Structure 1
């Protein structure tokens, strides 16, 4: 987006990981630290936000019943679900004041209840299924304000969380998701889709 001339705010849990690009404004944000949302809101001010992307997330839990790490389960819910809702609540007025008025929640097909045929991954599945439910409610509540909300599964991507065996790199995933975002309309708000635009089962 920055390469295309958009004004971009990028947030980082650790500012040491910032991307060296003068077209991007950088800010600290740990989505589990609510005071940081207030600080970021003060930085952004009343600036309209055409596209708000909630992308913070932590990966799969692998414990089985009797061996679950509940501290990690709680952290997944805090980051993947509660943090995303807090982000939207903080900046919804900025989005509503923009021309495009779009919100994207980066979710996972593992949040699909209907498609869960293998079990396990309790915390991760719950956090993403909950995120999908939140996104659907946001779509309903924000429709009168002209704000469209979409939940997008980015695919299996070769990142720190996805691992080197993943079939897609981040650039491929992002390019595909950008195409989906470009086609988003208010009549499609509340959809749960894959990176290529295919509808996913709830």
Structure 2
């Protein structure tokens, strides 16, 4: 039985992951922590409150000072079992832009949410991840401790053949770099860290032309999580577990 926290759970992939985890029969989930900025605007998420293992918490990835309060709320529920999986999913994007249209405020805003937010939230929840890892010394993957950063193929430098998307690309590339450092820094603690590209998905961010449904992406991510082990540590993968180039 594991405890999992998903950020940005009010819509899109985050909401889809919460739904999948609540109904997932592949691995048993004791607690699902779903964060959103405003529960009053998260109608579909709030409708899932009938599930006893779901805990909906408010969190704003720009307000880094609130993360330790969030960690305290999670700690009060998981107690000495800790947190097994942190899925840093919340993020923002902007329209396709060439260099002449890039705005510094867009760059700063996306770095705050897409890069700095996940790093600082991981820092705040690290004691709970360490507790889970120590508690389950003989286990691996989701039954021990895993940090999952939802990245994007647009963060790949090697596969960038279109240019543009300066704010989003650079923030996700930086997130990938953070994933790699986490995988090294926390290896001795038995905590894995991976970056996952969820695919181009039909969401408010992905748009109507995206080829994937939310259910396809989230099913793939959960299947990957079920099979994750030390060999995946520090890697960049798509939602089906295929290795991606940095």
Distance apart, 1:12 and its partner CA: 0.1
TM-score, normalising length: structure 2: 0.78
Q: Is contact 1:61–1:73 with CA below 8 Å preserved after alignment?
A: no
Displacement after TM superposition at 1:73 (Å): 1.5
Pairs within 5 Å for 1:65-80: 65-80=99-114
Give 1:128 deviation, angstroms. Answer: 0.5
Which segment drifts farther, 127-136 or 9-18?
Answer: 9-18
Alpha-carbon shift at residue 38 of structure 1 (Å)? 2.2
Q: How does 1:49-198 map to 2 (within 5 A)?
A: 49-98=83-132, 99=136, 100-198=144-242
State how far apart, in whole Å, the 1-side matches of 2:94 and 2:180 are. 23
Could you say what secondary structure the match of 2:22 adopts? coil
Higher helix share: 2
Structure 1 gaps, min length 5: none
- Larger RCO (alpha carbons 8 Å, 6+ apart): 2
* Cα pair 1:61 1:123 within 8 Å, conserved: no
- Greater mean alpha carbon deviation, residues 186-195 or residues 59-68: 59-68
Q: Is the 8 A contact 2:98 2:163 kept in 1?
A: no
Task: Name the residue aligned to 1:13.
Answer: 37
- Cα separation, 1, equivalents of 2:100 and 2:157: 22
Counting matched residue pairs gives: 202
Query: Hey, what's the Cα distance between the residues in 1 that align with 2:101 and 2:153?
Result: 24
Q: Determine the structure 2 residue equivalent to 1:2.
A: 22
Equivalent residue in structure 1 for 2:65, among 17, 26, 35: 35
> SS at the partner of 1:173?
helix
Structure 1 Cα separation of the partners of residues 112 and 97 of structure 2: 18
Preserved contact between residue 61 and residue 122 of structure 1 (Cα < 8 Å): no
Gaps of 5+ in 2: 1-20, 137-143
C-alpha displacement of 1:72? 1.6
Q: Which moved more, 1:63-72 or 1:125-134?
A: 63-72
